[in-house]
Structure 1
Amino acid sequence: MRFNPKADISKGRVSDAGGRGGGGGMSGGGMRMPIPGGMRAGGGIGGIIIVVLFVLLTQCTGGGGLTGGGGTGVDPQGQSGNPAGLSQDSDRYANCKTGADAETDVDCARKAVALSLEDYWAETLPAQGDTQFTPAQIITFSGAISTGCGQATSQVGPFYCPADQQVYLDTTFFQDVLENQLGGQGGDFVEPYVLGHEYGHHIQNLLGTMSRVKTQQGPNSDAVRLELQADCYAGMWTKAASGGDGIFLELDQGDIEEALDAAKTVGDDRIQQAGGQRVNPEGWTHGSSAQRMKWFSTGYEKGTLEACDTFSASTL
């Protein structure tokens, strides 16, 4: 993964809320990466907590500032100011100005990825989806944070909240969970894949796709279809970035393999096994490892919203 050293990444929409106390889980509506339940600092994997996707009707049909079947037309925080749940931005990203900074600093790389995602979907969504694009903000935090979907802690993993149209991320997730607990290989493109997936949920939000979720568990459920489509959208963006998009100079095969490994690592079957349980497809909310790899690859190879229509697919 190489960034264009001359790229201006200062406009990348990433903010940091710092560390906060408190606890409590999301009250509902957040689209999240699944992680093992019972995670503790220095502890092992406890029982799996299956988090059902509560796609609240008000969040999908206008009550949360959204409009079913199309774009919102409103940037929830505008071009300036703090996003929901962020009372004061830290200076974590203050020195991230160019692609050269992204080459040497993981925080700046995150900011560059955010800008690449925004640029890609600003062009692709209107062209392919006939829908107005409004950007999402990526907010990093530690401990706990208040969001439009309720109070969230680091234990919920990275997630997108449709109520405030933000992506939330505790950056310790990648080493603590994906690598240490679930045995993923890691690598510098793992986080971009996860951000691409969560940003994919934002695109679904703008398209009104979330209102199609009626069944919330099972191998062919709407919830699984929603998650696999987000993986497909991540693949679409990855393909564009791999060809050089002004921010990235190139992605190599190793980067693609890291993304596929991350997709495999967060498959429902893999997580059930990691929690000491038998594989039970009826409890799936995100899809199996094979399904997640398949749909990321579909997005990467086909590069279209139409190819990523998991809701019309007879076989996932």
Structure 2
Amino acid sequence: MRFNPKARLDAGQVRDAGSGGGGGLGGGGMRMPIPGGKVAGGGGLGLVLAIAVFVLLQCTGNGGGGGGLALDPSQLQVAGGSASNTGRYDSCKTGQDAADNHDCGRVAVVNSIQDYWGDTLQSAAGVRYQEAATVTFTGAISTGCGQASAAVGPFYCPAPGDMKVYLDTDFFDEVLVRQLGGPPGDFVEWYVLGHEYGHHIQNLTGQMGKVRTQKGRNSDAVKLELQADCYAGLWVHNAVNTDTADGEPLFLEGPTENDLREAIAAAQAVGDDHIQKVSQGRVNPDEWTHGSSQDREQWFRTGYESGDYNACNIWSS
């Protein structure tokens, strides 16, 4: 996609918390079994497998001695959440900045995703969209869902009082590319941001409350992840029609074939079967929490090719 150099960016939708202290997943029921174990030479890849589990355990009240599997916001932590801001995005003013600088591109993409859902969600689902900030960090961060290590990877925290997307900016090179063999390229991150904001949509619409089973090829956890992939594709389809607050288009052109190849390759790289092959040398569908590479590609394509919110209703498919 080509950014519109005249577009005025809203840098307030993204902030950077800098380098956090501590490490690991501590406190508040944040510890959970990590399926898949570790890769030789490092444990980061095993933690990637826990991204969906991390979100699900926090949003279903089953993260440690909690109740049943239905969504119960009262059981989520509200405390935490980093209030710091390093000013990393203060210079991101225009679409030209987005074209010249990856950080500013991140701001433009978040602006676009939120403009799309702000224009779409009420008519599509009868729910008013609530903006959700993106917080970047390195090392570790305190969130409304507890302390999170950078090794967890990108995630969305649905806790009341938080409801933000969290992104370790080293994840893509250190884990996705080096450990999982995924593709480099800007659009890889844009797909991931679309996916994480898909979880925000699921939270706003109550679809997280449909989760009853958390592991397995046909589990609700996998459906939740695949639907978020569909929502990412939905945004990509409609991104060229998104605007700034003053009505200026954020993009002059839609996604290129290379953009789509990067997004699909990223979706395939984080499929459970691929991660298990890399980390264990074998595939066990009973442990899946995200879906296979093929399914993740399929649901991204469903959103992108249809451009239709209703096409992402995985619960009835």
**Could you say which TM-score interval applies, normalised by the shorter chain?**
0.7 to 0.9
Specify which of 149, 170, 179 is matched with residue 168 of structure 2.
170
Structure 1 residues without counterparts, runs of 5 or longer: 67-75, 77-82
Specify which of 133, 138, 161 is matched with residue 142 of structure 1.
138
Specify which of 197, 200, 208 is matched with residue 198 of structure 2.
200
Match for residue 217 of structure 2? 219
- Percent identity reads 54
Matched, 1:236 2:229: no
- Cα deviation, residue 305, structure 1: 2.1
Q: Residues 215 and 286 of structure 2 are in contact (CA less than 8 Å); yes or no, is this contact kept in structure 1?
A: yes
Secondary structure, aligned partner of 2:165: strand
Match for residue 20 of structure 1? 20
Question: CA, structure 1 residues 130+303, in 2 after alignment: closer, same or farther (shift >3 Å)?
Answer: same
Secondary structure, aligned partner of 2:231: helix
Matched, 1:94 2:90: yes
Question: CA, structure 1 residues 237+288, in 2 after alignment: closer, same or farther (shift >3 Å)?
Answer: same
Question: CA, structure 1 residues 64+93, in 2 after alignment: closer, same or farther (shift >3 Å)?
Answer: farther
Q: TM-score, normalised by structure 1?
A: 0.85
Matched residues in 2 for 1:204 and 1:277: separation?
33
Q: Deviations over 1:123-166 (max 9, x none)?
A: 11011011011011100001110001100011100000000100
- Cα deviation, residue 178, structure 1: 1.0
Which stretch shows the higher mean deviation, 148-157 or 177-186? 177-186
Question: CA, structure 1 residues 214+141, in 2 after alignment: closer, same or farther (shift >3 Å)?
Answer: same
Match for residue 182 of structure 2? 184
Which stretch shows the higher mean deviation, 269-278 or 204-213? 269-278
Structure 2 residues without counterparts, runs of 5 or longer: 62-66, 244-248
Matched residues in 2 for 1:268 and 1:138: separation?
25
- Cα deviation, residue 304, structure 1: 1.9
Q: TM-score, normalised by structure 2?
A: 0.85
Matched residues in 1 for 2:115 and 2:28: separation?
29
Matched residues in 2 for 1:65 and 1:128: separation?
28
Specify which of 248, 251, 273 is matched with residue 251 of structure 2.
248
- Cα deviation, residue 247, structure 1: 0.8
Q: Residues 222 and 289 of structure 2 are in contact (CA less than 8 Å); yes or no, is this contact kept in structure 1?
A: yes
Aligned residues: 293
Match for residue 46 of structure 2? 48
Secondary structure, aligned partner of 1:194: helix
Matched residues in 2 for 1:47 and 1:253: separation?
29
Counterpart amino acid of 1:142? T
Counterpart amino acid of 1:8? R
